[in-house]
Amino acid sequence: MLFMIIRKDDALTESGTLPGPQMLEAMGRYRDELAAAGVYRGGDGLLPSALGAKLRYSQGRTTVTDGPFTDAKEVIAGFVLLETGSLTEAVRWARRCPSLAGGDAEIEIRQLAEAAHFPPEAQPALARMPWSTVSAQAITRIGDIA
């Protein structure tokens, strides 16, 4: 199962202050531990929302709003992708995330949609999806069927 550990923003991450040498070292060790355990699939930090944009779709129209997103209740500051056998295991790894050390931080863990979550008749369409976790598996499953 694929899970995303989502680090929520806070005043520090939204200020544009980049992690210092100690945090970078701690995050590097964390990544090494994840990789050594065979569960690491990717991850990145995000720059402040002031450098981004938000698109809202409503009644066939698109509105683009430049950051910062002061009205947003939850902004993402970074993420790590893991492949584990259960949500419980993903929680164990998330508890070890260095961004939880000291200060206040919030992490959310969400399971990624995979091809197996969709019915067989959806598999051909999934193979063309921009979601890599769904499309790669759908292609494999289509190949198994053919």
Write down the pLDDT at residue 119: 86
- What is the C-alpha separation between 3 and 112, in angstroms, rounded? 6
Locate 115 and state its tokens: 């091809």
In the chain, residues under CATH classification 3.30.70.1060 are 2-112
- The per-residue pLDDT for 41 is 94
Write down the CATH number for the domain with range 2-112. 3.30.70.1060
At residue 138, the pLDDT reads: 47
Mean pLDDT over 97-118 rounds to: 83
pLDDT at 85: 95
pTM of the model: 0.79
pLDDT score at 64: 94
How many CB atoms are located within 10 Å of the residue 136 CB? 15
Q: By mean pLDDT, which of 46-50, 67-71, 142-146 is the weakest?
A: 142-146
Res. 32: pLDDT tops 90: yes
Alpha carbons 45 and 131: distance in angstroms, whole number? 19
User: Looking at this protein, which amino acid is placed at residue 29?
Assistant: R
Question: If we measure between CA atoms, which residue out of 92, 77, 87 comes closest to residue 37?
Answer: 92
